[in-house]
């Protein structure tokens, strides 16, 4: 209790404190979406056709805890029926008009918006960026959650679950076969990395053009597998002992600007993006560049594995307790096209979100 402050002054002091707290909590300024520049001389427009700020929004509610869990399994172990179902759901999503926020192109562009700075951070002129910081895991978890709910709604199945590209497991170290066909195929991928080529978790995108850098492209598949497993150990265990190391730097407002990806984001996240995208495109689009990555359906299986590994790491490590992190919020459209405001604190526990990982 500070002496000398009259009762009347306490609320304003308190309000001031609340405003200061709110300024630390980062969220996008959705009133103004603008063109973005993923690299010099190139602009992209990924903004929604009508401003999201003109839509009413609702606050996120956890799914009914008595509803069946959505069980996400590895892509390479799915049954023919499950593959067919997924193909159908994505085909339906692709057929929705651009007007519909649930359409595949709008979903892809949502990722583009948040990774190229098409929105600014609120109270700031700085572009919003959900990579290279503690935003990385929770933002993508939100994105996958709504993606899953929408796909389930389109095929009328509320137990529908995503699956993961299990590249950290010797049995999953190739592009899953199901992604080589139908609505899941994408030709903007590196053809020399098609199955049975083993994924290179430490892929260096500059090495193919710069012969002085080590390029493990021709490594024996068995050797490659061992190198992949060793990399997993450093990125998930030995190099990731604290939330700062694993989650990335603190992105707080209003000068929200930090550049420090966590171990997992650096590799295998970034490296698998680069390895998958086509080497004949400037930025190895689609997967190799943020603005185009989510145009490839494989993006979602890649990120579901990242999401699973975050959950594995959480088993033995604490969450970030900073309220600036916990209260950071974003907006997503749900399966009924409603705009939903959701906070990072809502997505820490996957059981509450209604899903689980299994083999």
Q: Using CB under 6 A, list all residues that contact ligand C2O.
A: 111, 115, 131, 140, 269, 273, 293, 303
Establish how many alpha carbons lie within 13 A of residue 139's alpha carbon, considering only the half-sphere containing its beta carbon: 27
Does the annotation count 145 as an active-site position? no
Supply the minimum distance, in Å, between the C-beta of residue 155 and ligand C2O.
25
Beta strands in 100-223 (DSSP E): 119-121, 163-164
Cβ distance to ligand C2O smaller for residue 115 or 173: 115
Closer CB to ligand C2O, 106 or 140, in the complex = 140
User: What is the Cα–Cα distance from 328 to 104, expressed in whole angstroms?
Assistant: 26
Residue 150, H or E segment: helix 136-154
Rounded CA separation 144/132 (Å): 18
Residue 281 DSSP symbol: S
Question: Is the N-terminal amide bond of 27 cis, ω within 30° of 0?
Answer: no
Give whichever of 270 and 346 is closer to ligand C2O, judged by the CB atom.
270
303 is a catalytic site residue:
yes
Q: How far is the CB of 115 from ligand C2O (least distance, A)?
A: 5
Q: How far apart are CA 48 and CA 109, in angstroms?
A: 8
Nearer to ligand C2O, 123 or 137 (CB): 137
Instruction: Count CB atoms within 10 A of the CB of residue 84.
Output: 13
Distance CA 75, CA 29 (A): 36
| Annotation marks residue 131 as catalytic | yes
> How are beta strands 36-39 and 57-59 bridged, if at all?
unpaired
Q: Which 3 state secondary structure label does DSSP give 164? A: strand
The angle formed by the CA atoms of residues 310, 311 and 312, to the nearest 5 degrees, is 90
**Closer CB to ligand C2O, 24 or 301, in the complex:** 301
Instruction: Choose, from 145, 193, 269, 333, the residue flagged as catalytic.
Output: 269
Give the C-alpha separation, 200 to 275, whole Å. Answer: 7
333 is catalytic: no
Q: Which of 193, 273, 302, 333 is catalytic?
A: 273
Indicate if 140 belongs to the active site: yes
Of 136, 290, 325, 331, the catalytic one is: 290
For ligand C2O, give the closer residue by CB, 135 or 154: 135
Shortest separation between residue 140's beta carbon and ligand C2O, angstroms: 6
Token code pair at residue 41: 């001389």
Beta strands in the chain (DSSP E): 28-33, 36-39, 42-44, 57-59, 70-74, 119-121, 163-164, 329-333, 339-343, 355-357
17 assigned to active site: no
Helices H, strands E: what count in the chain? 11, 10
Residue from 60, 136, 140, 193 carrying the catalytic annotation: 140
Q: Minimum CB separation from ligand C2O for residue 21, in Å?
A: 27
With beta carbons less than 8 A apart as the criterion, state whether 174 and 195 touch.
yes
Between 75 and 92, CB nearer to ligand C2O: 75
Active site residue 181: no
Active site residues: 111, 131, 140, 269, 273, 290, 303
């Amino acid at each position: 209790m500070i002496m000398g402050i009259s009762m009347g002054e306490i609320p304003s002091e308190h309000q001031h404190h609340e405003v200061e707290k709110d300024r630390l909590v980062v969220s996008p300024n959705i009133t103004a979406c603008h063109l973005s520049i993923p690299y010099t001389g190139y602009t992209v427009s990924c903004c929604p056709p009508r401003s999201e700020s003109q839509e009413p929004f609702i606050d996120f509610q956890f799914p009914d805890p008595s509803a069946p869990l959505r069980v996400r399994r590895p892509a390479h172990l799915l049954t023919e029926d499950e593959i067919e179902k997924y193909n159908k759901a994505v085909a339906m999503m692709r057929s929705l008009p651009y007007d519909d926020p649930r359409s595949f192109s709008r979903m892809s562009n949502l990722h583009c918006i948040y990774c190229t700075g098409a929105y600014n951070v609120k109270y700031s002129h700085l572009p919003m960026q959900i990579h290279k910081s503690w935003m990385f895991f929770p933002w993508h978890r939100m994105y996958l959650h709504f993606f899953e709910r929408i796909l389930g709604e389109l095929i009328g199945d509320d137990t529908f679950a995503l699956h993961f590209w299990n590249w950290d497991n010797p049995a999953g170290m190739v592009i899953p076969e199901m992604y080589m066909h139908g609505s899941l195929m994408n030709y903007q991928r590196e053809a020399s990395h098609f199955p049975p080529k083993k994924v290179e978790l430490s892929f260096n995108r500059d090495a193919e053009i710069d012969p002085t850098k080590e390029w493990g492209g021709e490594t024996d598949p068995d050797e490659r597998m061992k190198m992949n497993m060793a990399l997993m150990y450093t990125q998930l265990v030995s190099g990731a002992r604290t939330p700062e190391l694993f989650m990335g730097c603190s992105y707080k407002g209003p000068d929200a600007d930090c550049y420090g990806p966590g171990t997992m984001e650096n590799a295998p996240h970034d490296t698998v993006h680069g390895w998958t995208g086509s080497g004949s495109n400037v930025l190895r689009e689609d997967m190799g560049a943020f603005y185009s990555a989510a145009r490839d359906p494989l993006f979602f299986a890649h990120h579901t594995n990242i999401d699973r590994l975050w959950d594995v790491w959480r088993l033995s490590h604490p969450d970030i307790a900073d309220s600036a992190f916990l209260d950071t919020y974003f907006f997503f459209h749900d399966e009924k096209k409603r705009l939903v405001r959701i906070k990072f604190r809502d997505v820490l526990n996957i059981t509450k979100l209604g899903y689980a990982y299994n083999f």
